[in-house]
Amino acid sequence: MYLHLAHFGVFLALLAAAVSLPVRSISTGARMAFTLLGLSGLATATSGCMGMLTGCSLNLVLPIGLPWLNSHQHLDPLAGFFLLIVGGVTAIISLFGPSYVIGSVSNLAAARTLAFFTGLFVAGMYLVILAADAFSFMVAWELMSVASYFLVAHDHHKKENVDAAFIYLLMAQVGGLFILLGYGVLAGFGSGFTFTDMQAATLPVHWQHIAFALAFIGFGMKAGIVPLHVWLPQAHPVAPSHISALMSGVMLKVAVYGFIRFCYGLLGTFHWQWGVIILLVGCASALLGILYALMQQDLKRLLAYSSVENIGIIYMGLGLSVLFASNGNPVLAALGLVAALYHCINHALFKSLLFLGAGALINQSGQHDLNRMGGLMRLMPITAMCFLVGCISISALPPFNGFVSEWLTFQTALQGTVLDSGVTKSIIAVAAASLALTGALAAACFVKVFGIAFLGQARHQDTLQAHEVSFGMRASQILLASGCLLLGIFPSAAINSMQTIPTDLLGIGLSQVESGGWLWLTPISARASSYGAPLVLFGISIAWAGAYLLLHPRRRKTPVRYSPRWDCGFGSLSTRNQYTATSFSQPIRRIFRPIWPIDERVDPPSTAEDGGRYSVHVGDWAWEKLYLPLGRMIQRSAKMVTKIQGGNIRTYLAYSFFTLIVMLWIVI
Amino acid sequence: MNFTVLTLAEQIILTLAALMLFTSFLLLAQTRLLTLIHIFALQGALLFATTLVIAFTYGRHHLLISAALTLGLKVFFIPIQMQKLVTRLDIKREVEVVGNPSLIMFGAAALVLFSYYAVLPIRELSMLATRNTIAVSLAIVLLGMLLIISRRKAVVQVVGFMCMENGLMFAAVAATQGMPMVVEMGVALDVLVAAILFGIFFFQIRTEFGTLDVDKLNLLKEVD
Amino acid sequence: MNVSGWILALGQTALLILLAPLLSGWIKWVKCKFQNRRGPIPWQPYRDLAKLFRKEVVMAQQASPLFRATPYLVFSVTVLASSIVPAFAVGLPTAVIADVIVMVGFFALARFFLCLAGMDLGTAFGGMGASREVTISSLTEPAMLLSIFTLAMTFTSTNLDAMVLHTLTQPFQIYPSFIFAGMSLLLVGVAECGRIPIDNPATHLELTMIHEAMILEYSGRHLALLEWASMLKMLIFGVLICNLFLPWGTALHLEPTAIAVGLLTLGIKLMGIGFVLAASESVLAKMRLFRTPELLSLAFIIALLGMLGHVILEVH
């Protein structure tokens, strides 16, 4: 039943793609497409939610696909959870979409392609999650990848957009190849390509390792773990903002889904080495992601790097879970898995929120660069409030949702003492340390973003033209922001309803979550740790009200007097006196100097009036040390191969001649 | 975790071990020569305390001699001599420039971890409650080496050498409750001789090169 | 629902709020004595606060609502943090609201808004203070969490209440890792509270300010709230360090004599830690901003060492 509802959602998404083609006006097309997309989101979110809550697994074989392999579909708690994320975020973004597209796309053909591929992209994501055999999975996966390629390349008149889209496509294809090989290994030992057959397969240990490595690289490429993350900061800034929100908030989660499905669902066994690898890669992604994010000036590129960080945190949770599972502590494994999944949904919410906010900002101010924004809080108060909520959530501050998942990850890590091996124990200690560092740096990063973009004074004329965005755009941001707050305040209820996932995958749930009452989240036991999120909010409100009421008589007696800012007595301050995004992160740049390849230049003043110029460009080591040399190597070897192509007809005939002789020799 | 079953003496030994490790870290973090020498004396004092505790709790009275030697040489004689030397050479405030200090510290933390794994097989053999101190002593030795290779000034390298020796002594005392007396006497003499030799060398290097920077010794190579 | 427990918890929060200026005054007084100055009486901060509360608020025309809300938010978050610290008794009902990680989160939340308020007006000082504050906090916060994790792994709990109770009820023993955790926490406390050698609370020289630079534009009752919050934060750190490492004297049962003993020992411990802080501030000089990372990474390393020490030495 719910599975049919999900398929109805897929149908609606495809319909949204189809309906946009014949429409003659941009606004009608956008409205129709996004309405259908929103409905499809609602339908799949409902079915996903029910699939997760009921906890049973639905299966269906569709009469399409290859003759000997019909398309298998399923809906179990894990798929339901991710379907909820994809569907929910899609539904909310559909509110944002119409006015954004009308405001930013002027060309009818471009609007058509955008709407068409958005529908295909969303349908692809639904189908990836619903797929229950390798073949449908791969078809849906490629549909998702290719559709999103066209979305990234949407504004294809600029060269850098095309380049970014090409890198994205290339990496998506290579990743897809790895995933295919991973499924191939499983299918080779199993009796077929359906997930149930693969599950039943028994693999020798080294083939398990190979399958894991293939899946880790394949899905990691899509998820954006370090050093496979380079496409993210390229592709996100060039895609339209609602697409960035979908790609960063949702598509990365689909990759995480694939990885969890492969590891927990299909492989079914756990080795501690896998846990260590996932954990360490997660740490590296989290730390490097946020450090690189801190150095960016382009708002959307910054958010893209921050996605790398959050994927890192998710992987840390998964790594801990695998470690505990391999050590025979299923309860703690369930805790780690729940922490990772909770961060998945949280990141989907706040990263979509931030990308939508960034879209609204860029749409209004016409600037991508943080250094040209400023003072937007007065002009766009609602967007600013929602963006602030997103910033607080992503910085993992109580009482919002990002804090809960990070707290859960910490709690999981602190249980590391139960492990047998000292090696893993101390690795977990180091991982906890890097998670702490990540959290603090994330707060620094988003203080910068909000402080530079929304506070202070406008740094550029265009910014002054900004005004609050349309109702739909505001509504979607408000919905996402309240989602962040709700998941932050009622974590125990949310986690209780996620119990079915670890129960399904690991055979055990978290029985202690509400052991101290619904107000308290107690993941392990009431003694070990407790977090009463509603009480925190209540306590802050009480203290606030107390301070406010105590000062009330005083406030009436002496009202606030307004005056100019303190200017040290030198006369009025200009907007250039403010800190910029670059100067704000300068101390951190100096402390963690070797982390980035930095091209820093100071040109001395040429004349007395000219103040000289300072420029700083922060690159990416992964790009410069890994991908460029790789690219050069490929090019060199390609050049060597071109020697075969001599151009002389006799040489070509000689090739045929020798080939013939060799063939004859082999055959005879 | 069965930390609770340890006796008070064993707890004290473990604590002293941790403190010794900590002084090694302080040595690595320190940039001023005089403070460096003081910390080195402090480490000697901790070693002395450990030896005393073990001598009394396990009734190994020959360790008392070793303790006295430690006190005399490492807490007083060598530090005082070095302090005099540094004052005479007038380099007491000289700030040592090394690579990235934070990076070295993280490397040091990694070394501690490494030495823990390196001694895991040895740990299995020992039944003593204080067997974990072997890892700490190996770490002290390695940190002493790190100190030597990460600093330029010859004085610090002597401190690093002594620090390594402290680590060895600590292993001998804490993990196996003392070596034969002859060995200990020999080691003590060795240290003394080394210290004096280094003292003489300092003056030689200084008069020859006008500095104590060991990188300047590169000039001694034959082939350019 | 035990009513007396809640009353005691409220009483403890009120007591900490009221005591906070006294600790600052005490530190200042001791420091002056060290430096052969007469010094203001220890309750001078109360007079300063009262004066600030009476004064008119002068606010910049460019200020946004966020700027006005920040003092209240920072104050209330700090007050909430003070209610979850076991100060003179364990088993208070407020203690389970949040564990120590959440408390670190509270401080981070307060700092987040303080930095934003600093950047709100678009002056150079505000941005400078905010930039430096986030830089320093991004190094202190992990060190603090790490040293607390060392304790948490030993006590198998992150609830402050359970930690203190564990030390009080178990037979006495020395944990080597605690020495590291304690040292790291001391360094972190000094940095978090903006004391010498990281920041100078008495400075008004713009280029060296961190905390002061962010609140430069505040005046009147807003400034009073922020000052009070920072005093309260220092008191919380003092109580935390005292009670995590030397919890003896803290009341195990909520009965009058035990609470009286708890209060008395808390007073003595706080005076002691204030004395140590004043002494260290008298002998140390403020560090250059770019030297502070070395000190803070030392704190981080010590904390990491404590954790490794716990794994190596204490777990068999």
DSSP string, A219-284: HHHHHT-TTS-THHHHHHHHS-HHHHHHIIIIIHHHHHHHHHIIIIIII----HHHHHHHHHHHHH
pLDDT at A443: 94
pLDDT at C1: 54
Contacts of B114 in chain C (CB under 8 A): none
Interface mutation vs chain C, best among A566, A583, A586, most C CBs within 10 Å: A566
Q: From CA A307, how far away is CA A232, in angstroms rounded?
A: 8
Q: Label residue A38 by pLDDT band (50, 70, 90).
A: very high
A444: its two tokens? 């620094």
Non-local CB neighbours of C197 within 8 Å, separated by 6+ positions: C190, C284, C285, C286, C287, C292, C295
**Is the model's pLDDT at B1 over the cut of 50?**
no
Contacts of B17 in chain C (CB under 8 A): 176, 313
User: Residue C36 burial (CB < 10 Å; 0-12/13-18/19+)?
Assistant: exposed
pLDDT at C39: 85
**Is the model's pLDDT at C203 over the cut of 80?**
no
> Mind listing the pLDDT tens digit for each residue in B68-118?
888 888 888 888 888 887 887 777 666 565 667 777 888 888 888 888 878
Rg (CA), chain C: 19
**What is each CA distance from A458 to A375, A455, A586, C119, in whole angstroms?**
5, 8, 21, 12
**Is the model's pLDDT at C95 over the cut of 90?**
no
SS3 state at A64: strand
Exposure class string for A286-310: b at 16+ Cβ within 10 A, else e: bbbbbbbbbbbbbbbbbbbbbbbbb
Tell me if chain A has a CB within 8 Å of the CB of C56. Answer: yes
Interface mutation vs chain C, best among A386, A438, A447, most C CBs within 10 Å: A447
Which has the closest alpha carbon to C163: C233, C106, C232, C100? C100
Non-local CB neighbours of A19 within 8 Å, separated by 6+ positions: A29, A32, A33, A36
Place of tokens 């067997």: B131
**What is each CA distance from A506 to A78, A216, A331, A410, in whole angstroms?**
12, 20, 9, 21
* The most confident of A134-138, A362-366, B144-148, by mean pLDDT: A134-138
- Looking at per-residue pLDDT, the higher value among A144 and A419 belongs to A144
Helices A299-327 and A231-238: angle between axes, nearest 10 degrees: 140
* The most confident of A92-96, A504-508, B176-180, by mean pLDDT: A92-96
Q: Please check whether residue A424 is in contact with residue A323, taking contact to mean a CB–CB distance below 8 angstroms.
A: yes
Handedness of CA C248, C251, C256, C262 (dihedral sign): positive
Q: Please check whether residue A432 is in contact with residue A412, taking contact to mean a CB–CB distance below 8 angstroms.
A: no
> Mind listing the pLDDT tens digit for each residue in A366-418?
888 888 888 889 899 999 999 999 999 999 998 899 999 999 999 999 888 88
Q: Label residue B216 by pLDDT band (50, 70, 90).
A: low
Tell me if chain B has a CB within 8 Å of the CB of A426. Answer: yes
Nearest residue of C to residue B100, measured between CA atoms: C294
Interval A67-80 mean pLDDT? 87
**Is the model's pLDDT at B210 over the cut of 70?**
no
Place of tokens 């599975």: A3
Q: From CA A232, how far away is CA A219, in angstroms rounded?
A: 14
Interval A174-192 mean pLDDT? 91
> Mind listing the pLDDT tens digit for each residue in A142-157?
999 999 999 988 877 8
Q: Please check whether residue C96 is in contact with residue A526, taking contact to mean a CB–CB distance below 8 angstroms.
A: yes
Least confident of A385-399, A563-577, B159-173, C198-212: C198-212
Which has the closest alpha carbon to A360: A469, A458, A476, A472? A469
Vertex A51: Cα angle to A46 and A52 (nearest 5): 100
Phi, psi of A133 (to 5 degrees): -145, 155
**What is each CA distance from A505 to A126, A256, A269, A325, A329, in whole angstroms?**
21, 15, 11, 11, 14
3-state secondary structure chain C: CCHHHHHHHHHHHHHHHHHHHHHHHHHHHHHHHHCCCCCCCCCHHHHHHHHHHHCCCEEECCCCHHHHHHHHHHHHHHHHHHHCCCCCECCCHHHHHCCHHHHHHHHHHHHHHHHHHHHHCCCHHHHHHHHHHHHHHHHHHHHHHHHHHHHHHHHCCCCHHHHHHHHHHCCCCCCHHHHHHHHHHHHHHHHHCCCCCCCCCCCCCHHHCCHHHHCCCCCHHHHHHHHHHHHHHHHHHHHHHHHHHCCCCCECCCCHHHHHHHHHHHHHHHHHHHHHHHHHHHHCCCCCHHHHHHHHHHHHHHHHHHHHHHHHHHCC
Non-local CB neighbours of C283 within 8 Å, separated by 6+ positions: none
Interval A326-338 mean pLDDT? 92
Q: B: neighbours with 3+ CB pairs under 8 Å? A: A, C
Domain regions of chain A by residue span: 585-618, 621-667
> Mind listing the pLDDT tens digit for each residue in B188-209?
667 777 776 676 676 666 666 6
Amino acid making up residue A652: Y
Q: Please check whether residue A243 is in contact with residue A333, taking contact to mean a CB–CB distance below 8 angstroms.
A: no
Q: Shortest Cα distance from C132 to chain A (angstroms)? A: 7
pTM for the whole thing? 0.91
Q: Please check whether residue C273 is in contact with residue C241, taking contact to mean a CB–CB distance below 8 angstroms.
A: yes
Q: Label residue A537 by pLDDT band (50, 70, 90).
A: very high
- Any idea how long chain B is? 224
8-state DSSP, A624: I
pLDDT above 90 covers a percentage of chain B that reads 7
Determine the structural domain holding residue C35 and report its residue range: 3-314
Interval A469-495 mean pLDDT? 93
Number of folded domains in chain C?
1
Interval C158-181 mean pLDDT? 85
pLDDT at A255: 95
Whether residue A531 and residue C98 make contact (CB cut-off 8 A), yes or no, is: yes
Q: What mean pLDDT, rounded, does chain B reach?
A: 78
Whether residue C173 and residue B4 make contact (CB cut-off 8 A), yes or no, is: yes
Tell me if chain C has a CB within 8 Å of the CB of A576. Answer: no
CB atoms within 10 A of CB A570: 7
A281: its two tokens? 């890669």
Tell me if chain C has a CB within 8 Å of the CB of A535. Answer: yes
pLDDT at B203: 65
Q: Is the ipTM of this complex over 0.90?
A: yes
> Mind listing the pLDDT tens digit for each residue in C233-285?
999 999 999 998 888 888 888 788 888 999 999 999 999 999 999 998 888 88
Interval A176-184 mean pLDDT? 94
pLDDT at B2: 46
CB atoms within 10 A of CB C172: 8
Non-local CB neighbours of A386 within 8 Å, separated by 6+ positions: A353, A357, A474, A477, A478, A480, A481
Whether residue C302 and residue B12 make contact (CB cut-off 8 A), yes or no, is: no
Amino acid making up residue C172: F
For A590, which of C101, C290, C308 is closest by C-beta distance? C290
> Mind listing the pLDDT tens digit for each residue in A514-534?
777 788 888 888 788 888 889
Q: Is A481 left (phi over 0), alpha (psi -120 to 50) or beta?
A: alpha
pLDDT above 90 covers a percentage of chain A that reads 50
* Bond from prior residue into A227 cis (ω within 30 degrees of 0): yes
How many beta-carbon pairs below 8 A join chains B and C?
77
Which has the closest alpha carbon to A133: A199, A86, A40, A213? A199
Largest CA distance in chain C: 63
Q: From CA A90, how far away is CA A87, in angstroms rounded?
A: 5
Place of tokens 């501030």: C281
**Is the model's pLDDT at C316 over the cut of 60?**
no
Nearest residue of A to residue C67, measured between CA atoms: A455
Q: What mean pLDDT, rounded, does chain A reach?
A: 89
For B22, which of C180, C294, C311 is closest by C-beta distance? C180
Tell me if chain C has a CB within 8 Å of the CB of A24. Answer: no
> Mind listing the pLDDT tens digit for each residue in A111-126?
888 899 999 999 999 9
Contacts of C145 in chain A (CB under 8 A): 410, 432-433, 436
For B116, which of A417, A422, A594 is closest by C-beta distance? A422
Interval A544-559 mean pLDDT? 86
Whether residue C142 and residue A577 make contact (CB cut-off 8 A), yes or no, is: no
Q: From CA B23, how far away is CA B14, in angstroms rounded?
A: 14
